[in-house]
Amino acid sequence: MLVLALITVVMALFGPLLFKKQRPSPLPAGKQVGQSSYFAKGVVESEHEVLMGSQAAGVVSKVMVTEGDLVKQGQLLAAIDSAKITAQIKQAEALLVAARERLNERQAGSRQEDIAISENIMKSRKIVYEQARDEFERQQRLYQKDATTKVDRDRADEKMKVALEQLEEARQNEHKQKSGSRREEIAQALAEVANAEAVLAFQRVQREDHQIRAPRDGLIVAKLKEPGETVEVGTPVLRFVDPSTLRIRAELEESDIGKVRDGQAVEVTTDSYRDKVFAGKVFKVLPAVKKKSMKTFDPLASFDMNSQEIYIRLSDYGGLKSGMTVTVKFKND
In terms of Cα–Cα distance, which of 208, 237, 227 is closest to 85? 208
Work out the angle between the directed axes of helices 83-108 and 183-208 (0-180°, nearest 10).
160
C-alpha torsion angle, residues 320, 326, 327, 331 (rounded to 10): 40
Residue 27's pLDDT is 43
**196 contacts: CB under 8 Å, gap ≥ 6:** 92, 95, 96, 98, 99, 100
In terms of Cα–Cα distance, which of 179, 178, 138, 181 is closest to 160? 138
| Radius of gyration of the CA atoms of the chain, in A | 44
Residue 175's pLDDT is 76
Structural domain boundaries in the chain: 25-47+242-331, 50-80+210-241, 87-206
* pTM reported for the whole predicted model: 0.54
pLDDT in tens, 176-233: 766 655 677 778 888 999 999 999 999 999 899 999 999 999 989 899 999 999 999 9
Sheet strand arrangement including 230-231? 211-213, 76-80, 58-63, 230-231
- Specify whether the CB–CB gap between 225 and 63 falls below 8 A: yes
- Report the SS3 class of residue 61: strand
Q: What is the spatial distance between Cα 92 and Cα 194, in angstroms, rounded to a whole number?
A: 12
pLDDT tens for the chain, 333 residues long, are 444 454 554 455 555 544 444 433 344 444 444 445 688 889 998 888 889 998 889 999 999 999 889 999 999 999 999 999 999 999 999 999 999 988 887 776 656 667 778 888 888 888 888 898 998 889 888 888 888 888 888 998 999 999 899 989 988 887 776 665 567 777 888 899 999 999 999 999 989 999 999 999 998 989 999 999 999 998 999 999 988 888 999 988 877 888 888 999 999 999 888 889 999 999 999 888 887 666 665 555 555 678 889 999 998 888 888 888 999 999 886
Q: What is the spatial distance between Cα 80 and Cα 86, in angstroms, rounded to a whole number?
A: 12
Beta strands 325-331 and 265-270 are: antiparallel
CATH of 50-80+210-241, one of 3.40.50.300, 3.40.50.2000, 2.40.50.100, 2.30.29.30: 2.40.50.100
Same fold, 25-47+242-331 and 50-80+210-241: no
- Report the SS3 class of residue 73: coil
CB atoms within 10 A of CB 40: 28
Residue 61's pLDDT is 94
Residue 26's pLDDT is 41
Q: What is the spatial distance between Cα 102 and Cα 109, in angstroms, rounded to a whole number?
A: 11
Phi, psi of 307 (to 5 degrees): -150, 165
Q: What is the spatial distance between Cα 209 and Cα 53, in angstroms, rounded to a whole number?
A: 10
Residue 31's pLDDT is 47
Q: E strands, the chain, where? A: 37-46, 49-53, 58-63, 70-71, 76-80, 211-213, 218-223, 230-231, 236-241, 246-253, 265-270, 273-291, 306-314, 325-331
Residue 105's pLDDT is 77
Q: How far is CA 7 from CA 2, 15, 21, 36, 183, in A?
A: 9, 11, 22, 50, 124
Sheet strand arrangement including 236-241? 49-53, 236-241, 218-223, 70-71
Q: How far is CA 98 from CA 105, 186, 192, 212, 310, in A?
A: 11, 14, 10, 33, 61
CATH of 25-47+242-331, one of 1.10.10.60, 2.40.30.170, 3.40.109.10, 1.10.8.50: 2.40.30.170
